[in-house]
Structure 1
Amino acid sequence: MLNPDKFSGLETQIEGDLLFDKLHRTIYATDASVYRELPLAVAYPKKKEDVQTLILFAKAHKTSLIPRSGGTSIAGQCVGKGIVVDVSRYMNNILEVDTKNKTVCVEPGVIRDELNRYIKPHNLFFSPNTSTSNRCTIGGMVGNNSSGTTSIKYGVTRDKVLEIEAILSNGNTVVFKALSPKELEAKIIQKNLEGTIYKTLVETLSKKNVITEIEARYPKPQIHRRNTGYALDSLLEMEPLQKDSNKPFNLCKFLSGSEGTLVFITKIKLQLDDLPPPHRVTVCAHFDSVADCCASVKMITERHDLYACEMMDKVILDCTKNNKVQTRNRSFVKGDPKAILMLELRSDDKNDLENQKNDLLKTIESQNLSYENALLYGGDVNKAEELRKAGLGLLGNMKGDRKGVACIEDTAVALEDFSEYISRFEKIMEKHQQKSVFFAHAGAGELHLRPLLNLKKQEDVALFREITTEVAELVRSFNGSMSGEHGDGRVRSEFLEMMVGKTVYNAFKNIKKTFDPSNIFNSGKIVNVPPMDEDLRYQPDRREPRIKTLMDFSDTLGILRAVEQCNGSGDCRKTHLSQGMMCPSYQATKNEKDTTRARANALREFLTHSPKYNKFDHKELKDVLDLCVACKACKGECPSNVDITALKTEFLYQYKKANGYSLQDKVFAFNHSINKMVAKFPKANVFLKNKHTASLAKRILKIAPSRTLPTVKKFNIRDVCKTSSKTKGKVLLFLDEFSTYTDSDIVKDAFDLLLGLGYDVDYFMGDSGRGMLSVGYLKHAKQLAEKNCDIVSQEKWKDLPILGIEPSAILSFRDEYLRLVQDKKRANQVKERAFLIEEFLSKDMARGVIEKEAFHSEKKDIKIHIHCHQKSLSNQKVTFDILNFPKNYSATLMNTGCCGMAGGFGYHKEHYQTSIGIANLSLFPKIKNASLDTIIVANGTSCRQQICDGTERTALHPVSILRQALV
């Protein structure tokens, strides 16, 4: 390892950031592949001069640079033992849009979907569309020559790259672009590295044996997804040796797919396309076998002008059943198909679209292979697309150590070879007693085929190599591409010589040496690679660490396997501009450390390798989990269901068991008892309201000075508890620690509303344990969970629905209690009875138990912000529905993500800026833009506090709105 003093010197030479601590090296040791290599350091350059400095440093110290942005590479392109250079944090600017020529210039860290959002007003888009499009960047797409669902219509990334500004291995900046034959000749005679590069490439392409081998061994021309080493075939197509050729010679096509091994890209000019036609329909053909599905593709693609042709198999579809978000997206699935083919049509004219659809259905039906052909329009098409995009990530959801392993998942063959290829592939799988996962860009002849292996076992590591080798030989026999769109990386580069032959492979090595004589750029990819079964994420046949936890992680076979569910797909890196709210702190900081992935990586590393008895007792784990706001978005939005909130809760208990609890921890954990005592002396609120005494309290408790301290209200249940004369049924209202003392007005509104609607209301007052969970008082929280389950399971209440006012409190019954309560049967029975009050009311409104006439018809405009736990564990629609139920009430959901307050998190002095930063992404701007006549609704007590402190607006609970509306 390099001397840290050398890095300290480098740190002062760049404008960006340089980190070489253990935590950052750990979280950048993996990408979305099966590999793990600890880098020397992590750099975040701010400008190309920083990149130049890093290149010269790497050259001087004989180390390498690993270019990285989204880190979603499946083949291991983003791991290495050198310096990881992450361009996503700062080098992410859209520089210039030329609407006349339909081009755009961007820095490499620009996210694909955000680029398209930016240029959409110009009716333009960048067409390559990967499943990771909401977090992958243009630089990574160029590096891998990405494709996606649209390639059958629009082509791949290589087809769209017009110019590349890059830094060469000597630190010089060059621009690669289309050259006329005369301009190419001028480049070749240059006496510098750029001239040598052009000269070497042209000389390589002048060799007959190289040309012969390219024509014989490269993928068939009709396979447009073709990342096979360096794209010499793309240069041959430009006819650089023919003097009468008028074709421009553009090295951008060659550099696309080179995986950062030849130059360091700092700017990219792209060709854009007109937005696709607005009207679309997707036909989802259901099949009883993968073979039937594959057999249908060729005829369909030949006869119809498709915009997408995608396949998912039963394994993928079954994974979607266990993911909360994707369960809602799979409503179109009928029966139990072994495969579904998704066929998209588009048109500017609705009538034309209907004709296209009918013609497509005739073709499908004439084949007599599918048993159901579901039709999707509008928003339902988007849902199906999200289901497909989540596919590979969902494989991480498979319980246990056997996973769908990425090694042969990127093969592409010509469509005429498709069915035979699948048949022969399945024979390889049967030989090894393997069940494969089929996930395909079927219209492009590309199949994401994953064997199910346990790479913790040496015998399966051997299979990993054996299966990959045999499939490589099979692909070679069809003149297919071993790497269609995911690249060669660590996992497939070893097989390139087999695919292209020794002559071409030697040409690859010579080209790499010409571009990069000191082996600076992404060493160990494409050429001179280590074996594909070295540097794996797990040590084969290791002694599995045993980690005792207080919470029950048996649903994932233990806490370590819960952490290992993260496959690195990086869904947690999407920004606030994308749908969903995972991960709020990352959205505010743009720091990889604050992603779900980084937290899982760090936990996996320390829980696996720590020599300590208490493997949680590491400051690095405290640092990486510090900004987790426990929003639970990962529980619902992460395809692998990596529940960082539960993992952080257990960590806090284990860590503080070793390091102690602070005064602040104790106050937040036992706020219920404190508030109960303060409520007996209401004059104590003067202390909290007085500027000087409140300031003193904040200093003592390390609370942010700008925060308003909540006051405690005297609460008398006799003031609100009345008897209803109507008989709509009996409910049990849970008066939690927040509602009882700081939001007692809402408790009164809840009683009045339920009684006014005709329900018989019983209640119990208690502490949900939410405060304890948030600071690691797990033993106390466990006792409370047991106690609360005992209370609500009493004979007199055992069949009553339990209604909660505060989402974070009542939803603990449906989440944490399942991990804390010993009697699982009873815990699950309680879970089934626990409802947000909005869920209960919405259900009874829908079935006519509650009538519209119960509410007056005064006109009201309402904007709703929903608590994170409701978004993750319930749904937003219930609140939307009840507030639109009264006549003339117009309520809309604000797409506001997380409020950033997160209970005690937003009060902490050290977290205040992050808390406000999260709110400023979406919540505050939307509220500040709302009319003063608009009613702001937020059902979370923390959310209401954040809104008050940040916008000086008062937000109301939904029950207060409905209480006001009662006739």
Structure 2
Amino acid sequence: MATTIQSDPAIVSKPGLPSPEQIREHLSDRIDPTRILIRHIDRIAFASDASFYRLIPRAVVQPQATEEIKHLFRFSHQHQIPLCFRAGGTSLSGQAITDGILVDIGRYWRSIRVEENGKTIRLQPGVIGQQANNALKLYSRKIGPDPASIASCRIGGILANNSSGMCCGVVQNAYHTLRSLTFVLPSGTQVDTADPKAGSLFQLLEPELCKELLRLKHEIEADTELSSRIRSKYRMKNTTGYSLNAFLDYTEPLDIFTHLLIGSEGTLAFIAEAVLNTVPDYPLKSTALLLFPDLFAACSAIEAFTKAGAAALEVMDRASLRSVEGHPGVPEYLSTLPADAAGLLVEFQAAKEDVLRAYEAAAAQAIVSLSLLRPAEFTRDPAQQAIFWKIRKGMFPSVGAVRAAKTTALMEDIAVPVPHLAHAANDMRALFDKHGYPDGIIFGHAKDGNLHFVITQGFNTDREIAQYRDFMDDVVNLVVRKYDGALKAEHGTGRNMAPFVETEWGAEGYRIMRELKSIVDPHNLLNPGVIVNPDPLAHVSDLKNMPEVEPEVDKCIECGFCEHSCPSRDITLTPRQRIVVRRELQRLKDDHAPTSEYTALDRDFPYMALDTCAVDGLCATDCPVSINTGNLTKHFRAIRHSHTSVKLANFAARHFGLVETGSRIALASGHLLEKLFGKSFMISLTGTLDRISHKLTGEPFWRWTDPMPSPRRGAIPSASPASAEAVYAPSCISRMMGALPGEPDDITNMQALLNIASRAELKLRIPSGLGGHCCGVPFSSKGFDTAHDISVNRMIESLYQWSDAGKLPIVIDTSPCTYGLKTSRPHLTAENQQKFDQLRILDSIEFAQSMILPKLPIVRTMPSVALHPVCSATKMGIANKLVSIAQSCSNNVTVPMEAGCCAFAGDRGFLHPELTASATQSEAAELAEHAHDGYYSSSRTCEIGMTRATGKLYRSYLHLLDYVSKP
């Protein structure tokens, strides 16, 4: 970057705390008011992070540039209102909440640039850690920090908390892999440390800060006891307080301050960009889950595996293993372990085969002397390795999922010298027993002496708060006084450990930290209460109580793992925020709070939480305890339905043939009217029909958007060969919708499938009487439960008949419909459940990949292909089969790294096109960088959504197979 060191004039402080409305008014001269959120629902949505604390911000601001950050700093000083920078909100100790202005960095600061052939990477703070690693995959590199939440946490938090993780230890954390930073001080000074002149200009513009930094450095160096303590404590993981090692590691003020920012938790400056040195991402891995008689035995094995070269050593006590026993893919033998058992996840990583073999041999030698409950089995199978790591990474949320009602789950992380780890783990278990936490669990990065402990805790009574306070006092005594360890190893100090920073560092070390904070932020406006906090009871203040709401979401601990894949994340609410707002509604109701607050939330909840939820279920795939927030949405949609709309839905389900005919007529009429009167007329007309529909039935009406498909023309193909090998049941979408503008109208999806089946010499049966059948998904997504049950029961009955009582497999050509049918069993009558169990329902992707493709003559290829795997294909685990099909047809197949739910969600894209536009913007931007010869998916409505988003014609992958096999 070019030289970017600037300074703003001196700021005059003004008394008074402005209201949310005044904040918007004052800030909107420099920041777009649409990015200054002051509605009650917006403020509540950001009141919680992944911790057990809660503060309601006065406003949420979403800046886009450093000039807006400087404006926020000026405003903060003028009005003495605190600022808190928030990236992903996965912070576990309350670092990402405030009752001042919350600055949401996750929305816009997402630039990624790989540099020096992958040796470095330039990142803005809103980038998710996994996105950075995805960008580095081509170079077999990755960023050093590897926290368990890397698929959700963002670079801003990784830097601000000096995150580490599974394998990075101390040497590859954010502090040690930092190349350069661009930061903005509260004074307005902006510095890019990569600039050759940055050091001298920093001293010129911030002479007092530089002078004070050198003074503190000299005081530390003169205090041999403190210097020795700093060096000793940073040989192990330690994020308690500020990174005092910077004063000893560096000599120049800019270098010192730059590294003080790592782990500063947003209390000193704003980090606008970072350049990180990357580390090798070794392709070869060998992994085992070793089971020991007890936790002490597992911890005692660490030294041997460390000497053998293990990259990761993750210890898990019996309680933590029990928390994940019932999860899909988890080995059944975990449930048979004795009460005191413990696990050790061991992984070796290498770039070359001979190196990995040497590691495995060393591991075998180490195992000889161990007492294991099961023989050690190292695996190189990526699928099995993924299961082992899912066990380890899912423990914290899993414990939270089974906690008692009205309690929360909280996790802390400590570090002790590795030789003391086994004893420290046993002492922690003793504290669980002493303070009444029978379900507490212990796991962690054993190689680094880093233990995490999780307990479930209520904060609804004075007794519960006192229980936690007494427990924490004993934890502090154990870690600091008995083992001279770190109260925070890698999660940042936060609110929970701020009162104990002096206990760990001593009076002199804490004085240095207090003075540092005072020098840089004299008014204590940057994330106050975090790191430096004189209140000895800060850790039991501003606690989050957890009201009981719906069973669908009660087990949520608000970790935020679900947010990055949610299609509405950049327009309304994420799954976590939906739950946070729902809990606030219940909290207000339980507390008999002012009616105005409840009314404001209740007014905005339908659009923000329900209308713009795609109900795609991807949140469940990312959630460690598989919470599908879409179920909550459908529950509330059902409650909202009027009696009239329910009756109409049930009628439509029983007479779906009329819906098909009406839809084709409506599409034909719409295209005719658009041709006669123009697109604006159709937009106005459908807007009027939407208002009428809302008034009469409470339900929305389709909006006329671009593009709109034509109605399907011609009769449904029929075929009943005597020796059919499968039943083909085209979805109602395929039966209703024809070509998009610019798409050839001669070959429908149905005809394309018939063509390729014929070329592969496969005979398909297309049943007569298909009209009027539906999988029920359109009704289910809208919360019309009865209508859904009517539709799906009728469909299963017919499929059973058409398939000769399940003798023939059934092929469905639209992935969402396939998924809806495959998961329909709980909605069936007892008789139809028996029939369902005999059916073999296949998505056309599965059928084409396994039965058509091996016999299909490929006579040509398409040079370049882009794919959009739909949500249902991802949930069914068949997206890889779609990629395999495309790779048989093209040597250049692209699945965008930002591919996700398009949010068309059946007809949601016709009802709320703004949702689809928001959900697809990142994927569309990525696709715009390179042109492709064909764009394909496996759902007609998703193809419409992607065509709209990219301006490229998306079609069913069946047309790709038809093209490459056409004689």
TM-score > 0.5, shorter chain as reference: yes
Letter in 1 for 2:635: E
The CA distance in 1 between the partners of 2:331 and 2:962, in whole Å, is 34
* Matched position secondary structure for 1:532: helix
Q: Offset of 1:30 from its aligned partner?
A: 1.0
- In the alignment, which residue of structure 1 is the partner of 2:457? 453
* Matched position secondary structure for 1:12: coil
- In the alignment, which residue of structure 1 is the partner of 2:431? 428
* Matched position secondary structure for 2:291: strand
Asked if structure 2 preserves the Cα contact closer than 8 Å seen for 1:734 and 1:766, the reply is no
- In the alignment, which residue of structure 1 is the partner of 2:473? 469
1:737 is the counterpart of 2:699: no
The CA distance in 1 between the partners of 2:184 and 2:919, in whole Å, is 38
Letter in 2 for 1:160: T
CA distances 1:943-962 after superposition (whole Å, capped 9, x unpaired): 34446666665734659969
1:340-739 paired onto structure 2 within 5 Å = 340-369=343-372, 371-377=374-380, 379-380=382-383, 381=385, 384-385=388-389, 388-398=392-402, 400-401=404-405, 405-407=409-411, 409-431=412-434, 432-455=436-459, 459-476=463-480, 477-528=482-533, 529=535, 531-538=538-545, 544=548, 559=550, 561-574=551-564, 582-586=565-569, 589=570, 593-609=572-588, 617-655=602-640, 657=642, 672-678=656-662, 688=672, 691-692=675-676, 695=679, 696-702=681-687, 703-713=703-713, 715=715, 720=718, 722=720, 724-725=722-723, 736-739=731-734
Letter in 1 for 2:457: L
| Inter-CA distance 256–225: structure 2 relative to 1 (3 Å threshold) | same
Asked if structure 1 preserves the Cα contact closer than 8 Å seen for 2:459 and 2:465, the reply is yes
| Inter-CA distance 247–77: structure 2 relative to 1 (3 Å threshold) | closer
Which segment is superposed worse, 376-385 or 21-30?
376-385
- In the alignment, which residue of structure 1 is the partner of 2:78? 60
- In the alignment, which residue of structure 1 is the partner of 2:147? 130
Q: Offset of 1:915 from its aligned partner?
A: 6.2
* Matched position secondary structure for 1:618: helix
Asked if structure 2 preserves the Cα contact closer than 8 Å seen for 1:772 and 1:781, the reply is yes
The CA distance in 2 between the partners of 1:107 and 1:224, in whole Å, is 28
CA distances 1:376-405 after superposition (whole Å, capped 9, x unpaired): 337445665455444434444436538783
1:2 is the counterpart of 2:18: yes
CA distances 1:429-483 after superposition (whole Å, capped 9, x unpaired): 2232513223311111111111233455665444333322222211111001110
Q: Offset of 1:130 from its aligned partner?
A: 1.7
- In the alignment, which residue of structure 1 is the partner of 2:268? 262
1:311 is the counterpart of 2:306: no
1:226 is the counterpart of 2:238: yes
1:68-467 paired onto structure 2 within 5 Å = 68-93=86-111, 97=115, 106-118=123-135, 125-152=142-169, 154-161=171-178, 163-173=180-190, 192-195=207-210, 197-198=212-213, 201-202=216-217, 204-205=219-220, 208=223, 212=225, 220-221=232-233, 223-232=235-244, 234-236=246-248, 250-270=256-276, 272-301=277-306, 303-313=307-317, 317=321, 327=328, 338-369=341-372, 371-377=374-380, 379-380=382-383, 381=385, 384-385=388-389, 388-398=392-402, 400-401=404-405, 405-407=409-411, 409-431=412-434, 432-455=436-459, 459-467=463-471
| Inter-CA distance 915–103: structure 2 relative to 1 (3 Å threshold) | closer
CA distances 1:745-802 after superposition (whole Å, capped 9, x unpaired): 6668889969954889797652333333444545543554566677779999887777
Letter in 1 for 2:910: Y
Q: Offset of 1:157 from its aligned partner?
A: 1.7
The gaps in structure 1 that reach 5 residues or longer are 241-245, 546-558, 575-581
Q: Offset of 1:68 from its aligned partner?
A: 1.3
Which segment is superposed worse, 937-946 or 788-797?
788-797
Asked if structure 2 preserves the Cα contact closer than 8 Å seen for 1:311 and 1:440, the reply is yes
Asked if structure 1 preserves the Cα contact closer than 8 Å seen for 2:728 and 2:765, the reply is no
- In the alignment, which residue of structure 2 is the partner of 1:578? none
Letter in 2 for 1:252: T
The CA distance in 1 between the partners of 2:309 and 2:667, in whole Å, is 75
Q: Offset of 1:297 from its aligned partner?
A: 0.6
| Inter-CA distance 358–178: structure 2 relative to 1 (3 Å threshold) | farther
| Inter-CA distance 641–761: structure 2 relative to 1 (3 Å threshold) | same
The CA distance in 1 between the partners of 2:667 and 2:706, in whole Å, is 23
The CA distance in 1 between the partners of 2:671 and 2:254, in whole Å, is 78
One of 869, 875, 884 as aligned partner of 2:878: 875
* Matched position secondary structure for 2:107: coil
| Inter-CA distance 446–219: structure 2 relative to 1 (3 Å threshold) | farther
Percent identity for Structure 1 against Structure 2: 19
CA distances 1:257-289 after superposition (whole Å, capped 9, x unpaired): 22122333334454x145255444334433343
Q: Offset of 1:9 from its aligned partner?
A: 1.4
1:768 is the counterpart of 2:767: no
Letter in 2 for 1:571: F
The CA distance in 2 between the partners of 1:329 and 1:57, in whole Å, is 52
Q: Offset of 1:410 from its aligned partner?
A: 0.6
| Inter-CA distance 222–89: structure 2 relative to 1 (3 Å threshold) | closer
The CA distance in 1 between the partners of 2:113 and 2:800, in whole Å, is 62
1:34 is the counterpart of 2:52: yes
| Inter-CA distance 18–676: structure 2 relative to 1 (3 Å threshold) | closer
CA distances 1:60-79 after superposition (whole Å, capped 9, x unpaired): 21211111112111111001
CA distances 1:668-723 after superposition (whole Å, capped 9, x unpaired): 9999454444499899679658622784555422424422234044656xx62536
Q: Offset of 1:294 from its aligned partner?
A: 1.4
Asked if structure 2 preserves the Cα contact closer than 8 Å seen for 1:110 and 1:138, the reply is yes
- In the alignment, which residue of structure 2 is the partner of 1:551? none
Alignment RMSD, CA only? 4.9
Asked if structure 2 preserves the Cα contact closer than 8 Å seen for 1:721 and 1:751, the reply is no
* Matched position secondary structure for 2:545: coil
Asked if structure 1 preserves the Cα contact closer than 8 Å seen for 2:298 and 2:343, the reply is yes
- In the alignment, which residue of structure 1 is the partner of 2:816? 808
* Matched position secondary structure for 1:229: coil
Q: Offset of 1:52 from its aligned partner?
A: 2.1
Q: Offset of 1:536 from its aligned partner?
A: 2.2
Asked if structure 2 preserves the Cα contact closer than 8 Å seen for 1:70 and 1:140, the reply is yes
| Inter-CA distance 364–251: structure 2 relative to 1 (3 Å threshold) | farther
Letter in 2 for 1:812: G
Asked if structure 2 preserves the Cα contact closer than 8 Å seen for 1:803 and 1:834, the reply is no
- In the alignment, which residue of structure 1 is the partner of 2:696? none
Asked if structure 2 preserves the Cα contact closer than 8 Å seen for 1:634 and 1:644, the reply is yes
Asked if structure 2 preserves the Cα contact closer than 8 Å seen for 1:804 and 1:835, the reply is no
CA distances 1:606-660 after superposition (whole Å, capped 9, x unpaired): 34435789999432441244443232211223223231222222233334549x9
Letter in 2 for 1:229: G
The CA distance in 1 between the partners of 2:172 and 2:667, in whole Å, is 72
CA distances 1:16-43 after superposition (whole Å, capped 9, x unpaired): 9322222221121111111111011112
